[in-house]
Chains A and B, each alone.
Chain A
Amino acid sequence: MLKTVIPFGPQHPVLPEPLHLKLTVEEEVITEAIPALGFVHRGLELLAHSRDFHQVTQVVERVCGICSMIHAMCYCQGIEAIMEIEAPPRAKFLRTIWSEVHRIQSHLLWLGLFADSFGFESLFMQLWKIREKILDLNEATTGNRIIVSVNVIGGVRRDLNPEQISWMLAELAQVELEINRLGSTLLTDYTVKKRTAGKGVITKAQAFELGLVGPTLRASGVCQDMRMLGYAAFDQIDFEPAVETEGDCYARSKVRYREVLQSIGLIRQALSRIAPGEIRTKVKGRPEGETVCRVEQPRGELLYYIKADGTKNLERLRIRTPTFANIPALLRILPGMWLSDVPVAVLSIDPCISCTER
């Protein structure tokens, strides 16, 4: 059988970021897929070594726009652990609230792109219309739509007043209503299921073997979510990870859809339990020691290794992002698939290449 090598990306209509896949096909079936990276590598880990450890918060926010708040939160929590600083309880709740707002906007962005990948343009536009409400919510409470920049070492730099809390609750109720309205299309529509169910299946054993994380892992039946560690205020609110067992593209979209609704519930819980108080602890001195800090990004487990030697610059900052852990899945799920299913399968791991390459 004649083999053909087809370049997929780095510029491709379904890819929001540049990822190149070298696809070997026999007729229309993929026999091998090799990813190529390096289009958006910015050397941010190295840049972090030449900045004051306080300034690094702004550096890590730029690893990825879509989950900038969670990058900064992870970094700040890591430095706080080294310096044995405790962020005030109110700051922990605020971090929880904004990180869940970030998760909602990231999942809505992905759900829209996913709909676009199988040609459902009206669903894509409806989902992004809802996402605008979340971005407005970010802007009204933090001053920015995407890179909200609320984290500092020792707490947060912004607070929520009672009027903002009431307004957030009203907006979230509206968003929940609209998400539920689209749920029947996203989860039961014949065309959507035809294009996603049974495609790109990853079994529970394969997911473990490949070191997958986040919704990609949970869609294969593994109940693992870093929020179970209880960082920020997650130890003070009720939380149960969303898990599906089919392991296909449909299950991965279902997990993310359920997580949007779950995040709304988590924000409600946090807003109802937040108590008045300080939002920032004063930081004195410089960090010395090493730590590993993990949080749950919209795409999965985010790991920061931080080593500091008591100077103003860090000795080492290592960032392992969730897409970096999920890319090996492509090498396993793409072989055997039809070429026409590749966009759906690639999108199903929610690839963030800016995160991956840093």
Chain B
Amino acid sequence: MRDEVISVSPDNLVAAVAKLKVEGYRFVTLTCMQADEGTVVILYHFDKDLVLKHLRVHVPADDPLPSITPVYFAAFLVENEIQDLFGLRFSGLTVDYERTLYLDGEVKVTPFCRYTVAKMQSDEAKSLPASVDSNGTGES
């Protein structure tokens, strides 16, 4: 990629994003990808004077990632989309659709995850019939 890409850790993410905002960067969007089993990569895209800058974050799929919506409110929609499609969780999300932005509440699979699926809450799992597995697909 020709643009500048900076790797940051999940712990430093919000601080790095806040710094970009102070420097006058406009929030563009997020791109989420499955890296390998149990790991997700998120690219945070920012623009200033038509030049892009990207932050790259590696996140364990099971761990919640801090939401950047307290810094850039506009990120709420794409963070909700990632929750739906990748099963990742964002903590502190300003407007949280609880994984129902595109999908219906009963859908338990996350379409983009090739290796993992989002884990259901234990009370949800208990309420399912024995023939339905934790993927919600009926296949083990």
Residues in chain A within 8 A of chain B (CB atoms): 34, 37-38, 41, 43, 45-46, 208-211, 224, 226, 228-229, 289-292, 294, 301, 303, 305, 307, 315-316, 318, 320, 324-325, 327-328, 331, 357
Check if B138 is an interface residue, CB within 8 A of chain A. no
**A-side interface mostly:** mixed
Check if B137 is an interface residue, CB within 8 A of chain A. no
- The answer to whether B77 touches A316, judged by C-beta atoms less than 8 angstroms apart, is no
- The answer to whether A208 touches B26, judged by C-beta atoms less than 8 angstroms apart, is yes
- The answer to whether B74 touches A325, judged by C-beta atoms less than 8 angstroms apart, is yes
- The answer to whether B45 touches A303, judged by C-beta atoms less than 8 angstroms apart, is yes
Give the docked Cα–Cα distance between A328 and B26 (Å): 14
Give the docked Cα–Cα distance between A226 and B95 (Å): 29
Given contacts A34-B95, A46-B112, A292-B45, 11 further A-B contacts (CB under 8 A): A41-B102, A46-B111, A210-B74, A226-B50, A292-B52, A301-B28, A303-B29, A316-B31, A318-B31, A318-B32, A325-B29
Give the docked Cα–Cα distance between A315 and B74 (Å): 27
Chain A residues whose C-beta falls within 8 Å of the C-beta of B33 in the assembled complex: 307, 315-316
Beta-carbon nearest neighbor of B28 in chain A: A303
Option from B50, B77, B111 in Cβ contact (under 8 Å) with A327: B77
Residues in chain B within 8 A of chain A (CB atoms): 1-3, 26-29, 31-33, 43, 45, 50, 52, 54, 72-78, 95, 100-104, 111-112
CB within 8 Å for A38 and B95 given contacts A211-B74, A228-B50? no
What would 17 A/B residue contacts be, using CB atoms closer than 8 Å?
A45-B112, A46-B111, A208-B26, A209-B73, A209-B74, A211-B27, A211-B72, A211-B74, A211-B75, A291-B1, A291-B2, A292-B54, A315-B33, A318-B32, A320-B31, A320-B45, A328-B73
CB within 8 Å for A320 and B95 given contacts A37-B101, A211-B74, A292-B1? no
Chain B residues whose C-beta falls within 8 Å of the C-beta of A331 in the assembled complex: 95
Minimum CB–CB distance for B111 against chain A, Å: 6
Instruction: Choose among B33, B54, B77, B104 the residue with the greatest number of A CB atoms under 10 Å from its CB.
Output: B77
Beta-carbon nearest neighbor of A43 in chain B: B111
**B-side interface mostly:** mixed
Give the docked Cα–Cα distance between A34 and B52 (Å): 30
Minimum CB–CB distance for A69 against chain B, Å: 22
- The answer to whether A305 touches B102, judged by C-beta atoms less than 8 angstroms apart, is no
Minimum CB–CB distance for B62 against chain A, Å: 21
Chain B residues whose C-beta falls within 8 Å of the C-beta of A226 in the assembled complex: 50
Chain A residues whose C-beta falls within 8 Å of the C-beta of B54 in the assembled complex: 292
Give the docked Cα–Cα distance between A137 and B65 (Å): 50
CB within 8 Å for A211 and B28 given contacts A38-B101, A307-B33, A328-B77? yes
Give the docked Cα–Cα distance between A209 and B33 (Å): 26
Chain A residues whose C-beta falls within 8 Å of the C-beta of B1 in the assembled complex: 289-292
Give the docked Cα–Cα distance between A294 and B88 (Å): 27
- The answer to whether A305 touches B73, judged by C-beta atoms less than 8 angstroms apart, is no
Option from A209, A292, A357 in Cβ contact (under 8 Å) with B102: A357
Give the docked Cα–Cα distance between A158 and B82 (Å): 38
Chain B residues whose C-beta falls within 8 Å of the C-beta of A45 in the assembled complex: 112
CB within 8 Å for A320 and B29 given contacts A46-B111, A328-B77? yes
Chain A residues whose C-beta falls within 8 Å of the C-beta of B27 in the assembled complex: 211
Chain B residues whose C-beta falls within 8 Å of the C-beta of A291 in the assembled complex: 1-2
- The answer to whether B31 touches A305, judged by C-beta atoms less than 8 angstroms apart, is yes
Give the docked Cα–Cα distance between A276 and B40 (Å): 48
Minimum CB–CB distance for B122 against chain A, Å: 26
Beta-carbon nearest neighbor of A305 in chain B: B31
Chain A residues whose C-beta falls within 8 Å of the C-beta of B75 in the assembled complex: 211
CB within 8 Å for A38 and B45 given contacts A320-B29, A328-B76? no
- The answer to whether B102 touches A38, judged by C-beta atoms less than 8 angstroms apart, is yes
Minimum CB–CB distance for A49 against chain B, Å: 9
Minimum CB–CB distance for A154 against chain B, Å: 20
Option from B43, B95, B112 in Cβ contact (under 8 Å) with A305: B43
Give the docked Cα–Cα distance between A292 and B54 (Å): 10
Option from A210, A289, A307, A324 in Cβ contact (under 8 Å) with B29: A324
Give the docked Cα–Cα distance between A163 and B125 (Å): 68
Chain B residues whose C-beta falls within 8 Å of the C-beta of A357 in the assembled complex: 102
Minimum CB–CB distance for A218 against chain B, Å: 13
